[in-house]
Structure 1
Amino acid sequence: MGEFSIRDALHQFVNKSNLRNGLRAVQITQIWEEVMGKTIAKYTTKIEIINNTLFVYTPVGPLKNELQYQKSQIIERINEALQEKLITEVVIR
Structure 2
Amino acid sequence: MSRYRTNTPKPLKELVKDFLDDVPYRKRLKRGMILSLWDETVGENIAQQTENLRFENSKLILNVKNPAWRHEIHMKRFSIAKKLNDQVGEKIIKEIIVRS
Match status 1:55 vs 2:61: yes
Q: Shift of the alpha carbon at 1:29?
A: 2.4
2:40 corresponding residue in structure 1: 34
Distance between the aligned counterparts of 1:65 and 1:91, measured in 2? Answer: 11
Alignment RMSD: 2.1
For the pair 1:91 / 2:97, whether they are aligned, the reply is: yes
Q: Verify: 1:82 aligned to 2:88, yes or no.
A: yes
Question: How many angstroms does 1:24 deviate by?
Answer: 3.9
Query: Distance in 2 between the 1:44 and 1:88 partners?
Result: 19
Paired positions, count: 81
Gaps of 5+ in 2: 1-18
- Cα–Cα, structure 1 residues 49 and 24, in superposed 2: closer, same or farther, change >3 Å? farther
Superposed displacement of residue 11, structure 1: 1.6
Percent of pairs with identical residues = 22
Q: 1:89 Cα deviation (Å)?
A: 0.8
Q: TM-score, normalised by structure 2?
A: 0.69
**1:4 aligned partner:** none
SS in 2 for 1:45: strand
User: Structure 1, unaligned stretches of length 5 or more?
Assistant: 1-6
Task: Work out the CA distance in 1 between the residues paired with 2:35 and 2:92.
Answer: 14
Which amino acid letter does the alignment assign opposite residue 11 of structure 1? Answer: V
